[in-house]
Amino acid sequence: MLQKLNTKSQHEPGYIELKNITHAYDTKKILDDISFSMKDGEIICLLGASGSGKSTLLRLIAGVEALISGSIKINGNIIVDKTTFIPPERRNIGMVFQDYALFPHLTIIKNIMFGNNRNGKITREQAMTQLEYIDLVAYADDYPNMISGGQQQRVALARTLATEPDILLLDEPFSGLDSKLREELRVETKKLIKTKNISAIFVTHDAEEALYLADRIILLNDSKIEQIDSPKNMLKAPSSIFAAQYLRRYNIVEVSVKDDIVVSPFGSFNIKNLCCCRHTKLKSNHKIAHMLIAENDIHLETHDAPDKFDHQMDVKVLQINHYSEFSELQLSVEGLNQPLTLRTSLREKDVMIGDVYQAHFNYKNILIFSGDQ
């Protein structure tokens, strides 16, 4: 067997650094100048729509796709650049894919014992420990087709963890499962990765999954990094309308900005008065700008103790749609030439189409972007 990189013996195991990664298939640019680094024990979620290059980036890190330009370091060692190529089997990287890729002719325990860890062959005892982590000891001697899809995906994760990788790469591992199971596995996987303090890059197109799992999210758009941030910061201060809408549902209302005064259909206000000034890349004058009001930041009642940033308005209910966790209302607002969408729990209200209410939102919660974003 080829000797693996001795990354764990150094001071920062798991540390990954990507610099200026650019990749294309034929002439089609897939990744454009991607750079980021991650800390040991960090979970990074690569978030982006289908086709945004997420899997390509994972394959480059794993070494199963040839790098065209840029460099990748793991724990300070170059693993690939113009002149270096450390083969995949020496990178101490574990991968988990959507299709569990278990061997159908091997029992669960034999599947886990299949690979090598740092000390050579994985023993039955070590494999059993992995099965304990995922609560599947009772199925050790069953074959993959005898357990459910969710259980198979857990085994795939355990099989990869049994090889004691420094870095775990997960490519949409739960996307083939139904939503309830996906949520359960999300919780379990995060617990497992954090308990073992493994550095992980988790690819997903699902914002909820990224928000739950990630220490930091890397949002990809049009072959570039749109934003790198913690889930909290990305929700609070998205860098663009694209980033905002990828994570939350917003109403977008056209406004203009002149000398820091935002002129909106709701009235005018000074942008500098807004708490946190959540207007990014906004200079003082814009004929066209966009004001984003989150659908669940509009409330269907008068505010008991409004502050000067609260905007109260009369609304009429145009349409009601119900979901399990909330209801969605379309509202017409006087002076606004578009309906507003509001998401809220309607448990205590008996709202009917045609009802007139007072509603409010707070300017402190809005986002403003220039027209060219």
Stretch that binds ligand ADP, among 47-55, 77-85, 157-165, 336-344 (CB under 6 A): 47-55
Crossing angle for the helix pair 179-195 and 149-162, nearest 10 degrees? 20
Beta strands in 130-249 (DSSP E): 167-171, 199-204, 216-221, 224-229
d(C-alpha 192, C-alpha 173), whole Å: 15
CB of 98 vs ligand ADP, minimal distance in Å: 10
When the beta carbons of 27 and 145 are compared against ligand ADP, the nearer one is 27
54 touches ligand ADP by CB under 6 A: yes
From the list ligand ADP, Mg ion, none, pick the one residue 76 interacts with, judged by a Cβ distance below 5 to 8 Å according to partner type.
none
Centre a 10 Å sphere on the Cβ of residue 282 and count the other Cβ atoms it contains. 19
Instruction: Tell me how far CA of residue 173 lies from CA of 115, 179, 194, 226, 368, in angstroms.
Output: 19, 13, 17, 23, 36
Residue of 8, 39, 51, 124 interacting with ligand ADP (CB under 6 A): 51
Stretch that binds ligand ADP, among 6-14, 44-52, 309-317, 323-331 (CB under 6 A): 44-52
When the beta carbons of 171 and 297 are compared against Mg ion, the nearer one is 171
* Whole-angstrom Cα Rg for the chain: 25
d(C-alpha 51, C-alpha 223), whole Å: 9
CB of 59 vs Mg ion, minimal distance in Å: 9
Residue of 25, 101, 345, 371 interacting with ligand ADP (CB under 6 A): 25
Q: Total residues at the site for Mg ion (CB under 5 A)?
A: 1
Kindly state the greatest CA–CA separation across the chain: 74
Contacts for 107 with CB less than 8 Å, ≥ 6 apart: 140, 141, 142, 143
When the beta carbons of 48 and 63 are compared against ligand ADP, the nearer one is 48
204 touches Mg ion by CB under 5 A: no
53 touches ligand ADP by CB under 6 A: yes
Residue among 19, 195, 170, 13 at smallest CA distance from 91: 13
From the list ligand ADP, Mg ion, none, pick the one residue 80 interacts with, judged by a Cβ distance below 5 to 8 Å according to partner type.
none
d(C-alpha 108, C-alpha 128), whole Å: 10
Q: Which two tokens stand for residue 230?
A: 């913690």
CB of 106 vs ligand ADP, minimal distance in Å: 29
When the beta carbons of 51 and 335 are compared against Mg ion, the nearer one is 51
48 touches ligand ADP by CB under 6 A: yes
Q: Determine the 3-state secondary structure of 227 from DSSP.
A: strand
Residue of 55, 75, 153, 365 interacting with Mg ion (CB under 5 A): 55
When the beta carbons of 30 and 113 are compared against ligand ADP, the nearer one is 30
Contact residues for Mg ion, defined by CB under 5 A: 55
Contact residues for ligand ADP, defined by CB under 6 A: 25, 30, 48, 50-56
